[in-house]
Structure 1
C-alpha cells in the first residue's frame, strides 16, 4: 500500500538537492544527483502493509482484505484510517466481543474474515456519505513515540525509516565522481513490483537496498533463527528468498564498517524478500547489497527500531558513497583477475 504523502514529503525534502526528480510507471520516486561515473542507487520501499475495503454491509460494517502479510492477532481492535477520495475516515477493526465466545473459541486466533471495520455508520448509505467506497485502502492509525533516547516506536517504520535514511544519504553525498539515485519504491509488500520498474528505469551500476528485518531480542524467539538485536548495529542481509549479495560488494561493506568502527550484524530470511531481489536481476543484473534495520513488531500497527542502528548505518553508507569512484567500481565488478 503506497502513501502519496510519503512521495510528496520526499519531493519536498530533495527537490533542492536533486538535478532531476522523476517517477517510474508505477509511481516509485526517483531523485538523481550528478551525471558522470558509475550510477549508484540507494533504495527503500515507501509502501506499507495495510488493508482494502471489499464489501459494505447494509448496516454499515466494512469487510476487508489484507494487503501484504499480516498476523491476525496483530490486527484486532486496532484503530485504522480509510484513505478515501475526499480524505481520511477513522475506524476500528472489530469482531464479536469475547463475552459471546465459548472458551474454545477464545483459545483460537480470530480469522480476519470474522473481523470488520466499524466507522460508526449505521447503514451502507451513511458509509457512502462519509466517502468510503469499495477499493479504498486502509492503514493503521499514525502513531509515533520516542520511548527512550535510543528506541523509536511508530507506524510503518517498515520501511519509512529506510526512506528517511535514503533521503539523508542523498542530501549528505557530495561525491561528483558518481551519479547518485535516491529511490523510494512502491508495492514492495505485494511482490517487489516497484523495485522491478525502477530498476528498469534507472539501470544503475550498483544498488544498495535499505529495509527492515525481524529483531529476535524479545521473549519467545529462537535466537539462532532470529539473531538480530536492537542497538547492535544494522544487519547485512546474507540471503533472502530472491537475493544473495554480490560477494565483493558485501566484503567491501564489511571491511569499511571495520575500518570506521561501526558495528554490523548479519541475517538471513527464507520466507520473505527485499527489493534487492529485483535490483539484482533486472536489465542484466548488477552488484547489489541489502542492509536491514533490526525491528521489533513488524507488520503490525506499531514497530520499534534503534536510533543508534540507524545512525550507524548512515555513517557506514555515507563513508562508502563518499569514496566510491570508477576504479573501485571496476574492481568490484571484475569477476576474473
Structure 2
C-alpha cells in the first residue's frame, strides 16, 4: 500500500486547475507510459494510454486530472488579488488557506487567502459565511505594479497549497483527491493488468470540474464499446449526519455507482455493466458499497451519451470533505478499486460485451 500512497501523493500535490492541467498531464503521461503500448495527448489535453488487447473491442477508463481552483479577475492598487472560482467551492473552506498562484511565464508563487478580520466586521456579520467576492489573495506585493512585475495578471490561476499526509490506520488527507485518486487507481490497475480481451484506453481527462469537457471529446475519439469512470464520491459518515445520508463510508470498500446527479439530470449506470462489476467483486471477495448519490456526477455522464450511446458505469472512492483542502479517504478503498477495475477489464470478454450491446427486444 506504500507504493500506492507515494503515487497518490505525487499526483495530488501536483498543481492543475481546470484548463491549466499541464503539470499533472506531464506527470500522468510519464507514469502511464511503461504500462501501455502508446500514449497520446489530444488537442484538448486529455492523456490517452492505449493498451492493445486480443480483439477489436474497445474499453475506455476515465479519471479526471483537473482540480477546482481560482482565477484572478482584478488586482487591487494595493497588490491584493481578487478572484472567482473555477469549479464548485464552499468559500468557508478557503479562508486562511495557503495557495499557489501561476504567473504569466508558468512559474508558481505562494499566497494566502485573506478576508476582512472579524474585529472590524460590522456587528451581526461576524459569523456570516464569506462570499467569493469578499475574499482576496495576498502574495505580499506592495502594490499592483509589483504584483504585475512578478508575472501576475488578470487570468492568473491559483490552487491550494497542501501536502498529502497520513492520519491513523490507512486513512490519508490532502487536496485534489477529487480526482487524483481516480487517476492513481487507473494507473495502479494498469500495473496489475495482464492480457485483456479488449484494447483498453486509459484516459486522464481535463476540465471535468467545469462541465465534463475532456471526457466528451475523448469518448468521441475512442468510441468505446463500454466504459468505466473513476472518481471520488461523498462519504458523509461524520457526526451530525443521519446514517441514511452517509451515502457510503470510508474504509468499507470502493463504491459501485447505481445513480447520481441532481438538477442537471440523473446518470443511471448501465444495469448489465453495473451488475457485471458487482459479480466480479463478489467472485474475488473485494468489499464494495452500492452508491446512490443525491447530487453531483462524473465523467460517466459525458461518456454514456456519445454517438449511439456507450454502456457506462462508475467505480468511486468514498471521500470525506470533497472540494476542500482536507479531503479524506482510505488507501485500502482505493487499492481495492484498482483491483476491481483490473479484474473487470480482464474478465469482460466479447460475449459479455455483446450482451451490453444487444438491442433485441426480449
Superposition TM-score, scaled by structure 1 size: 0.96
Deviation at 1:222, TM superposition (A): 3.4
Mapped partners of 1:86, 1:182: distance in 2: 27
- 1:80 equivalent in alignment to 2:89: no
Determine if contact 2:197/2:346 at 8 Å carries over to the other structure.
no
The SS at the match of 1:127 is helix
The SS at the match of 1:90 is strand
Question: Which of 19, 34, 39 is the equivalent residue of 1:21?
Answer: 39
Structure 2 counterpart of 1:285: 309
Structure 1 counterpart of 2:128: 108
- 1:252 equivalent in alignment to 2:276: yes
Alignment of 1:236-275 (within 5 A): 236-241=256-261, 242-275=266-299
Alignment of 1:180-259 (within 5 A): 180-241=200-261, 242-259=266-283
- 1:65 equivalent in alignment to 2:84: yes
The SS at the match of 2:243 is coil
Deviation at 1:146, TM superposition (A): 1.1
Determine if contact 1:50/1:67 at 8 Å carries over to the other structure.
yes
Determine if contact 1:24/1:201 at 8 Å carries over to the other structure.
no
Deviation at 1:23, TM superposition (A): 2.0
Q: Deviations over 1:279-325 (max 9, x none)?
A: 10012111100111110111112211101111211221221112222
Deviation at 1:25, TM superposition (A): 2.7
Check 1:37–1:325 CA distance in 2 against 1; reply closer, same or farther (3 A cut): farther
Determine if contact 1:14/1:171 at 8 Å carries over to the other structure.
no
Determine if contact 1:293/1:305 at 8 Å carries over to the other structure.
yes
Q: Deviations over 1:250-297 (max 9, x none)?
A: 111111111111111122234311000011001211110011111011
Mapped partners of 1:244, 1:24: distance in 2: 28
RMSD: 1.5
Deviation at 1:148, TM superposition (A): 2.3
Question: Which of 326, 334, 339 is the equivalent residue of 1:302?
Answer: 326
Aligned residues: 337
Q: Deviations over 1:65-124 (max 9, x none)?
A: 000001111111111001222410100110111111244111211111111100000111
- 1:41 equivalent in alignment to 2:60: yes
The SS at the match of 1:216 is coil
Q: Which runs of 5+ in 1 are unaligned?
A: none
Mapped partners of 2:275, 2:359: distance in 1: 14
Mapped partners of 2:57, 2:285: distance in 1: 27
Deviation at 1:11, TM superposition (A): 1.1
Question: Which of 176, 180, 188 is the equivalent residue of 1:156?
Answer: 176
Deviation at 1:223, TM superposition (A): 2.7
- 1:127 equivalent in alignment to 2:137: no
Mapped partners of 1:98, 1:20: distance in 2: 55
The SS at the match of 1:320 is helix
Mapped partners of 1:244, 1:250: distance in 2: 10
Mapped partners of 2:313, 2:335: distance in 1: 18
Deviation at 1:200, TM superposition (A): 0.7
The SS at the match of 2:40 is strand
